[in-house]
Structure 1
């Protein structure tokens, strides 16, 4: 999956001086603030700071004891709307919570001094330290008690941050809901395409074995043309920005075409025209010619709907853009985090993958070297450290609910099972975080009810002691649910 797909951040989703922050916005309009954070939380001699954006919505807050629900930002900027709609807003209404959203450092408008983006200070560890400092700020500015109840929410990378915040700061974060959260770092994420392949063959979401077969045949034909150096025809068929003649060009072209299918599965339901069912109808329509010709037609439709004039196919141009601090934008920032913390590079190297064999781990790792000078060995070492630091897929923590969609390829790197997790049949990436709609499928409605039940159990007052001196029954995760931090149940 290319960096542009990683940055389709899903969701349904005036710098203010915090010292003059008003106690709430009119009519539930989120208030925007900015907080000066240390550029490096782990070296207080560094001295420089960054301005981090946040928003507060007090519309539902039952002062002074209502909990704080903190929605974390990930690999894209946030906006005030994130606190005006979505399931977390509905939960805040039900529990009288103060809503807050914290943008991730360097993404969106949260920049360093003079707008600088010194990537040495971009990491999940710095982001978690930002969260701790933000909690101290809100506690002081809003007159909360030091032991006030805070619950973190997040989706995708931000979902992992929510889980890690509970793991690393159990005295600050009382619980977390981690949606589609890849908490296990992995260099070669071949499992991504295994989930995509299964979805393309599943009739329950509009796929079929015939669809998967057509996709496999189409990419085999594309690979054959690329290997046979039939570049003029491929350039014309796929509206390439440049003929894919230089090293790495064919890999980039193939990766961008694969993204159409990966995105349709990962975001199935978010974008109806690009759903699994829509793609499979096109890929099994014999009137469009051979499977290869159907793939060509799908790519042209994708370009037209996205307002794109051509398919990127020049690796040299991509590297040049990613090297530029401003031109690369969020793509550059997230690539840096994958190179220095997470990996997450889907390869297509076995028979279970229906896509182009030009999508190799080597090609994706080489971007780290060419853009940032980070060798493959250093990427592997960084991924190993991330898993050691956070506990990989089995962090030793409680009161974290992992929520995943069955169609979401990222569930392979998440956690949760039985009472500790929610798997939503037929659902895609972060589907549970969207606003409730009348047409939501039963599985999604049931999942939101389970999330709400866990939250209610976590927020319940401590159970009184019975005559044996033991507490009463526990919550939905099988533990006693007194909710006074910093103690775990």
Structure 2
């Protein structure tokens, strides 16, 4: 029997990681928290029951984040790898207002009357209803432990899911979850300092070159001829014409450096963009001489950036309005203007970026201009407890220290069973990705720790179910 299972596992995992799942939908309320809106919508979720033990096998539940759920299902290989070991049902739930889960169809982002139901609180309530539906509708699932998984914002949701609904979720793996990236909890410059540190570790000359490049861009862009030269050298799809265009270029560059730090994986990957292994190292090879200046420095910069925007060789030009091709950016912009207010700043001294202060008033005005809403910077702290979460249990907060989001993550244990796992050579939720020969030892140890935690949580659920009267089990 064990040999047969092993053969099945190898066959399943040897299919070049072609993730297979059934696409399903569940009808849910648009508003879980009032009695004035009786509208409903269809939430999308993906299911794979290949290895599920239909007599109480656990449910591995991914708390979907800001994008189509397929993206996260196909970049969370760890769940797929351990499903056979635990005889688990795999479920990936899409977040409302992203992908196909649009409560009001094409009108969902058009007006506040339709958009006002986009929040983490509503999303978690969706997941509660979906799990209840699965437990009632699938034979053998009533006794199943539920283990939540999530990375980045999805990791925040995974942690908050366990904290908010411990009767629904038995344990959570919250990877790269910056639940403390809010005002008063984490200094606004930490993010930029970690990005800079990643580049400096590859080459101090590299981060110095980036820091120097901002002034060189401004200097060359003072003239029309300089703007034209920049547009051609950097291969921009739309030529620079105004100072606003130049600022857009610099905003794009900042996003590029941030993305490179987030996905500085030890192997080639295609999460935000197709990139080589250790992409920062590859980019920095072209920025190894900080004594260069003017056009020479910017030519070096262009050569390095080519790794980011055209690693495949298929791109013809740089589109500044599309940094990484991510969809759902408008919906996330709304969330960042309401509850997910994560202050960012930099000083150009402790980091390699242009000085930029965090100004809540200016940010609020920008949000109101675009969405007709004002941010509530302390809403997430009120809702989920901020740093006063010592009562939290059965959560693993894992963070790669190369990841700039780790600065707002949980890096120390907060209770006996809500614990921190640090991965020194890890980038953004590397531990949730599929195993690779190039994985550093620390990420392998982290995955082993996840397995032990999941095993313990499943045993606790089994024990508790055995104590309950028959009609109340599950």
Shorter-chain TM-score above 0.5:
yes
Map of 1:209 onto structure 2: 204
SS at match of 1:212: helix
Map of 1:384 onto structure 2: 378
Map of 1:283 onto structure 2: 287
User: Could you tell me the TM-score, scaled by structure 1's length?
Assistant: 0.77
Q: Deviations over 1:435-489 (max 9, x none)?
A: 112332212111111111222222235899xxxxxxxxxxxxxxxx99989xxxx
Q: Deviations over 1:89-124 (max 9, x none)?
A: 222221111211111112111122444412111110
Number of paired residues?
423
CA contact under 8 A between 1:166 and 1:176: conserved in structure 2? Answer: yes
Distance in 2 between residues matched to 1:373 and 1:329, nearest whole Å: 22
Map of 2:160 onto structure 1: 164
Map of 2:83 onto structure 1: 92
Map of 1:448 onto structure 2: 447
Alignment counterpart, residue 351 of structure 1, candidates 349, 352, 361: 349
CA contact under 8 A between 2:177 and 2:397: conserved in structure 1? Answer: yes
Map of 1:193 onto structure 2: 192
Map of 1:56 onto structure 2: 47
- CA gap 1:105/1:227 in 2 versus in 1, 3 angstroms: same
Distance in 2 between residues matched to 1:37 and 1:259, nearest whole Å: 35
Distance in 2 between residues matched to 1:353 and 1:482, nearest whole Å: 52
CA contact under 8 A between 1:239 and 1:300: conserved in structure 2? Answer: no
Map of 1:333 onto structure 2: 331
Distance in 2 between residues matched to 1:86 and 1:286, nearest whole Å: 39
- CA gap 1:463/1:45 in 2 versus in 1, 3 angstroms: closer
CA contact under 8 A between 2:145 and 2:457: conserved in structure 1? Answer: no
Q: How does 1:283-322 map to 2 (within 5 A)?
A: 283-284=287-288, 290-300=296-306, 302-305=308-311, 308-312=315-319
Distance in 1 between residues matched to 2:467 and 2:51, nearest whole Å: 22
- CA gap 1:357/1:302 in 2 versus in 1, 3 angstroms: same
Map of 1:372 onto structure 2: 371
Q: Post-superposition shift, 1:242?
A: 4.4
SS at match of 1:342: coil
Structure 1 unaligned blocks of 5 or more: 1-26, 322-326, 465-480
Distance in 1 between residues matched to 2:116 and 2:450, nearest whole Å: 37
Distance in 1 between residues matched to 2:319 and 2:19, nearest whole Å: 43
Map of 1:470 onto structure 2: none
Q: Deviations over 1:395-430 (max 9, x none)?
A: 341111001111000111111425711111111001
Map of 2:398 onto structure 1: 403
Q: Post-superposition shift, 1:224?
A: 3.9
**1:124 aligned to 2:120?**
yes
Distance in 1 between residues matched to 2:162 and 2:200, nearest whole Å: 37
CA contact under 8 A between 2:65 and 2:154: conserved in structure 1? Answer: yes
Map of 2:63 onto structure 1: 72
Alignment counterpart, residue 101 of structure 1, candidates 92, 105, 119: 92
Q: Deviations over 1:208-265 (max 9, x none)?
A: 2222222222233224445788544433433444455556433321010122222111
- CA gap 1:38/1:143 in 2 versus in 1, 3 angstroms: same
Map of 2:410 onto structure 1: 415
